[in-house]
Structure 1
Amino acid sequence: MTPEELLTTTRSVRKRLDFDRPVELSVVRECLEIALQAPSGSNVQGWQWVVVTDPDQRAAIGDYYRQAVDAYLDSPGAAGKLFADNPNRASVQNRVGDSVAYLGQHMGRAPVLVLPCLTLRGGELPEGNQAGLWGSVLPAAWSYMLAARTRGLGTAWTTLHLSYETEIAALLGLPDNVRQAALIPTAHTIGTDFKPARRQPLDDILHVNRW
């Protein structure tokens, strides 16, 4: 797989996650070792990684995620409700909405759940600009997802579980100064024929020097 193929075919995989095939923890560790090479602000490396394989814990997290997804699907901002008046995008949005609903029902069945987290100095999120803070974990999480793709694994970046961040933190025994950034289901994929997604033309969104 060339770098271009890797970067353009690493999809958010939901309906094509194989919930019945185990994932070796050693493979997840390989992906995380790669993720640790990502940059972080001031080289603090304040990330922490919680890998959940216990069936009961996965089921409990999945139940919280299902409740969050149900609320999301009822909201006006749900993916399937967006761009309804744009025939070029409506069908794609409907498929995304269906896949979100599917993962909402099955998150707890994913053989591995990975939660990238941040350790907060001072124990609290700062007021104002937090881009640098979260920007210190996002590249590492994406590197994990890319590494997983090269090993035949599918992932999806999800954050709806954060509606129940406190409950999940208690379930996993997270310290008070550790905050969750995402919930990434990880599983083998059903098939490997992923293709680049349809995106807006670059010239529609590119601004050079000024808007």
Structure 2
Amino acid sequence: MTLPLTPDELLTTTRTVRKRLDLSRPVPLELIRACVEIALQAPSGSNEQSWHFMVVTDADKRAAVGEIYRQQVARYADSSRFAGRMFADRPERSAVQQRVGDSVLWLGEHMGRVPVLVIPCLRTGKPVPQGNQAGLWGSLLPAAWSYCLAARARGLATAWTTLHLGQEAEVARILGIPDGVHQGALLPTAYFTGTTFRPARREPVESVWHENTW
């Protein structure tokens, strides 16, 4: 059963959800499986389909991954890149960024309690190459985003996170992910509190539109 969303509504209301993740409501595993099945329809380079989805529901493993995420959030919060300190010279954006920063810190403390953690992975059988990796990750990230869209259509919320990759090898050991399989994101998945979501405020298209030349 999916929500009555138009394609445009689905695309503009699939948000990164943190504080509104419902930590108390279990998520049926068959719902996650349905979302992954949708994700597998995404494109991949040469139709190789070398993606894998690690679905973590075990409480101890979720807690262990959550602790790693908490450590990485703490490091991120102390860095100059922290979302909460961005655009300090633009009051209208600074207020939004501070709210984002607060929600990042909240998720850092609660990641291990989210009912389902999904980690999309890419099997290469070898280390990730140096240099431009767009072609490599282009065979995984569309599928990961399709998973998020499918979850939204089924009344679930997700957050696109990557901070855990600072300790990717440790997460791999916890979850038994073999060598040659690389993690692309960490997608906490849960029902959400409140009613629905609305499109976010963005910069006008004219600020990013370049026609024929930059």
Which TM-score band (shorter chain)?
over 0.9
Q: Distance in 2 between matches of 1:192 and 1:181?
A: 30
Q: Distance in 1 between matches of 2:109 and 2:171?
A: 17
Shift of 1:193: 2.0
Unaligned runs of 5+ in 2: none
Q: Which position in structure 1 is the counterpart of 2:162?
A: 159
Q: Distance in 2 between matches of 1:11 and 1:191?
A: 14
Identity %: 64
Shift of 1:192: 2.9
Question: Is 1:109 aligned to residue 113 of structure 2?
Answer: yes
Show the 5 A alignment for 1:170-185.
170-185=173-188
Q: Aligned to 1:169, what secondary structure does the other structure show?
A: helix
Q: Which position in structure 1 is the counterpart of 2:61?
A: 57
Unaligned runs of 5+ in 1: none
Show the 5 A alignment for 1:1-211.
1-121=5-125, 123-211=126-214
Q: Distance in 2 between matches of 1:192 and 1:162?
A: 32
Tell me the TM-score normalised to structure 2 length: 0.97
Asked if the contact 1:152/1:192 (under 8 Å) is kept, the reply is: no
Partner deviation per Cα, 1:8-50 (whole Å, 9 max, x = no partner)? 0000000000000000100000000000000001101110110
Q: Aligned to 1:145, what secondary structure does the other structure show?
A: helix
What is the letter of the counterpart of residue 52 of structure 1? V
Count of aligned positions: 210
Shift of 1:179: 0.7
* Range moving further from structure 2, 123-132 or 5-14: 123-132
